[in-house]
Structure 1
Amino acid sequence: MTSTIASPMHTANDLGIGLLRQPSMVLFGPGQRRQIAPVVKGIAERVLMITDSRMAASAEFTQIVEALQQQGVSVSVYDGTEPDLPRRHVVDVVERFGGSSIGAIVGIGGGSCMDLAKVASAVLTHGGDVRDYYGQFLVPGPGIPVITVPTTGGTGAEVTCISVVFDEEQGMKVGVASPHLEAYAAIVDPELTLTCPPGLTAASGADALSHLIESFTGRAKNPDADQLATTLYAGKNLLADVYARNGLALLNDSLPAVAADPTNLDARSNTLFGAYCAGMAINTAGTAGAHAIQSPIGNLTHTPHGFGISALLPYVMRYNLPTRVPEFAEIGRILGVANASDPEETQARAAIDRIEVILETLGAPLDLRTLGLQPADFGFVAKQAMLATRLTANNPRELTVESVTSILERGYDGDRSWWQL
């Protein structure tokens, strides 16, 4: 098979390729957390629960632990996970639980909790340091079975085969990307998101929305067999698009509904379902420019990942629009703000306007000045963003230090005029 190397202007998936990676089992629905104990009992006598202090103090977590113990499963708990998963947590888990015959790991919480569970599984099994696995396809084989249980509606980490680690010494986020990080099972219970604080709901909702947009408008790579065997992201593809379309339709209604009433279980369910769809989409299509640029901004401003993404998204979408008019136009129709009889560019601009309305309704920021980013840091951020080649390679329009700087300038000024090639 001959590979077609896509240019920054290329849109078409010429090979008609579709690719999915996913857990062996997914359970979705209110109350499904009660299946954690039976699932774990089927594969392990001892389980390690990885979570954060907020979840560990909840009644729901206590009930899950008690249910596991009633099934005869020995339970250990690590509840020190912090946002943006610091590498020291991976080191801590390996030091504390290495050699202790852990048969399964449950990662329950936000993205960092699930990412820690996945990468700890690899290091506990194969040894060494997590740094040995930075990059793609470097985990040598399967690890301890992981059950992922999300408590926020955004990261999609329950179904992705990547863990993002903040290496404090390097001062940057690094990905461990391998199909061997795929969870054994994902148990997705919307009831666990009902107590998610408003700020976290907004940040995670913005993140999920960005995953859908970046996967659907990303670069089509048309990879050959060798590329598929060595590169996590196959680019925009038929199967990822199915999930992206469904997720966009769900979040279009559910995110404003959750913002209006955080106790609305139907809205929470649709938000979590949309976030799951987003995770399925990015698992093979990947994220792109907004995620590459956010990482150094987050390191400088210590702001939540989802808020950094929200503040960048209006400007990255505008930058990419000239090369992705048909895709943004379809998004406009999915979101119910565009008519097929209108010019495509009109439909595409309506989509971007609608996405910004959703973000504003959530209370997520729409400019970089709000995050505290300083113009003096633009050059540093642009150079750091270009190091995230796994992400920049997915952006539909070529990114350079100069173009990223222009995005940052517009984002700082809140300049939402339309970008022209």
Structure 2
Amino acid sequence: MTNALGLGLVRQPTTVLFGPGQRRQLGRLARRMGNTVLIVTDERMASTQIFAELKADLEDQGLRVSAFTNALPELPRSNVTEVVARFSDPAPDLIVGLGGGSCMDLAKACSAVLRYGGDVRDYFGEFAVPGPTVPTIAVPTTGGTGAEVTNLAIVFDEEKQMKMAIADTHIVPNVAIIDPELTVTCPPSLTAATAADALSHLVEGYTARPKNPSADQLASEVYVGKNRITDVFCEEGLRLMNRSLARVVEAPEDLSARSDVMFAAYCAGMVINTTGTAAAHAIQSPMAAIDHTPHGFGVGALLPYVMRANQPYAREEFARMAEILGVSSKGATDDTNGMAAIERIEELLGAVGAPLELASLGVREEHFDQIAKSAVSARRLVLNNPADLTEDLVKEVLKKGVAGDRS
């Protein structure tokens, strides 16, 4: 698992603004980027005073503002189609994605289709966007997905019943405004699910394969492995999650804890831009068609079993994780400390109420073949996993997950 070249690489927005109250900078930043702005958000957010204030701020800066307020969870392709149909003539100068991951992914997907036309399917895959897109500002209201800084837009294709991805540096938001105050009113279940998602990003990013990519691979592949810079973000994100993840559920009004978790989610987004995710995400995607569980809880439920399968192939990383999480023992073997790290991650997941087995999610043995076959077809994720992700390994993970076997 050693990156012998010492490569460091991250992909990121031009501007990241973090801190309580920083949403009030939206209008000033937006006015430098155009004259017309489209806000994409969901119905709940559109009904809030905060939405009204942000819209007024944009208007006070002289911008003409339109809004699409029907963004749906697990971003369906039909959302992209509807936005493009309603707002393409003329296209806005700027798109603001306000909300959770689906709202920000909607902004990113539409930024490509509104600029270059066609169907969102034309841009699925790696580096399929021809060039710069409609500029975007991402304003997250949950602490979890990291979509405010990622080069991914995940779209559920209803006809194919599959999640697909635009993976392209051209859709990274130009600006990310990360204001922890926006998460204080986030429903407890959503706080927990998105935090579990961010924790899984950090674990999978830290234990992903280092690939020592060539210059050609750096230019043509989104996921080019863990590296020196992503490890810095992972370690800080894990440290903050360890300190504040339980607190953010126990005391949702604790702005310090909210800030820690939201910064950790930002760190996780910076990581997966380069490392990608791995087995937990590859397995969860087809599993979601069966259990319909929130994404964060799905990957969180898989994580204990995926970590155990991967630990023998990432011993140093799991042992170092134990140090970061404050559970390592001096003189203990890497395997012993690695297991302590895994158990601490499970404690954190349990503290937010994430399920730690799969039977309660509706997964049964009869689903194993279907899930395994689909999971290993997600090649971009499979190649990131430290253990070879075969159908047999996926089935073993599922078997242990359904039984709750964390021995």
**Scaled by the length of structure 1, what TM-score is found?**
0.96
Residue 265 of structure 2 corresponds to 275
**Cα distance in 2 for residues equivalent to 1:219 and 1:84:** 28
The aligned runs of 1:154-165 (5 Å cut-off) are 154-165=144-155
2:246 matched to 1:256? yes
Structure 1 unaligned regions, length at least 5: 1-10
**Cα distance in 2 for residues equivalent to 1:261 and 1:59:** 23
Residue 114 of structure 1 corresponds to 104
Correspondence for 1:232 among 219, 222, 230: 222
Residue 105 of structure 1 corresponds to 95
Correspondence for 2:156 among 141, 158, 166: 166
**Cα distance in 2 for residues equivalent to 1:274 and 1:267:** 11
2:313 matched to 1:298? no
Per-residue deviation, residues 351-389 of structure 1 (Å, max 9, x unmatched): 000000000010011011111122211110111111111
Residue 186 of structure 1 corresponds to 176
Correspondence for 1:311 among 301, 314, 323: 301
**Cα distance in 1 for residues equivalent to 2:115 and 2:91:** 10
Residue 30 of structure 2 corresponds to 40
Correspondence for 2:59 among 55, 69, 83: 69
Residue 393 of structure 2 corresponds to 403
**Cα distance in 1 for residues equivalent to 2:128 and 2:159:** 21
Correspondence for 2:403 among 375, 399, 413: 413
Structure 2 unaligned regions, length at least 5: none
Q: Calculate percent identity across the aligned residue pairs.
A: 55
Q: Which amino acid aligns with 1:156?
A: G
2:319 matched to 1:329? yes
**SS in structure 1 of the partner of residue 401 of structure 2:** helix
Residue 236 of structure 2 corresponds to 246
Residue 144 of structure 1 corresponds to 134
1:130 CA displacement: 0.6
Residue 119 of structure 2 corresponds to 129
Residue 215 of structure 1 corresponds to 205
Q: Which amino acid aligns with 2:55?
A: V
- Give the ranges of 4+ consecutive aligned residues of structure 1 lying more than 3 Å apart after TM superposition: none
1:302 CA displacement: 1.2
Residue 50 of structure 2 corresponds to 60
1:101 CA displacement: 3.6
**Cα distance in 2 for residues equivalent to 1:56 and 1:391:** 34
**SS in structure 2 of the partner of residue 142 of structure 1:** coil
**SS in structure 2 of the partner of residue 359 of structure 1:** helix
2:334 matched to 1:382? no
**SS in structure 1 of the partner of residue 121 of structure 2:** helix
Residue 87 of structure 1 corresponds to 77
**SS in structure 2 of the partner of residue 233 of structure 1:** coil
- Contact 2:91-2:114 at 8 Å conserved across structures: no
**SS in structure 2 of the partner of residue 117 of structure 1:** helix
RMSD after superposition: 0.8
Q: Which amino acid aligns with 1:304?
A: P
Q: Which amino acid aligns with 1:167?
A: D
- Contact 1:158-1:183 at 8 Å conserved across structures: yes
1:87 CA displacement: 0.6
Per-residue deviation, residues 387-415 of structure 1 (Å, max 9, x unmatched): 11111110000011111011001000000
**SS in structure 2 of the partner of residue 115 of structure 1:** helix
**SS in structure 1 of the partner of residue 155 of structure 2:** strand
Residue 30 of structure 1 corresponds to 20
**Cα distance in 2 for residues equivalent to 1:64 and 1:312:** 38
Residue 394 of structure 1 corresponds to 384
2:353 matched to 1:363? yes
Q: Which amino acid aligns with 1:48?
A: L
**Cα distance in 2 for residues equivalent to 1:255 and 1:291:** 21
1:70 CA displacement: 1.4
Correspondence for 1:286 among 272, 276, 279: 276
**SS in structure 1 of the partner of residue 83 of structure 2:** helix
**Cα distance in 2 for residues equivalent to 1:139 and 1:23:** 17
Per-residue deviation, residues 8-53 of structure 1 (Å, max 9, x unmatched): xxx1112211111100000000000001111111111110001111
Which stretch has the larger CA shift, 298-307 or 311-320?
298-307
Per-residue deviation, residues 40-87 of structure 1 (Å, max 9, x unmatched): 111111100011111111111110001111111111111111111101
- Contact 1:333-1:340 at 8 Å conserved across structures: no
**Cα distance in 2 for residues equivalent to 1:156 and 1:44:** 25
**Cα distance in 2 for residues equivalent to 1:267 and 1:340:** 29
2:7 matched to 1:17? yes
- Contact 1:165-1:174 at 8 Å conserved across structures: yes
Q: Which amino acid aligns with 2:138?
A: T
Q: Which amino acid aligns with 1:195?
A: T
Q: Which amino acid aligns with 2:348?
A: I
- Contact 2:35-2:62 at 8 Å conserved across structures: yes
Which stretch has the larger CA shift, 186-195 or 372-381?
372-381
**Cα distance in 1 for residues equivalent to 2:56 and 2:203:** 40
Residues matched between the structures, number: 407
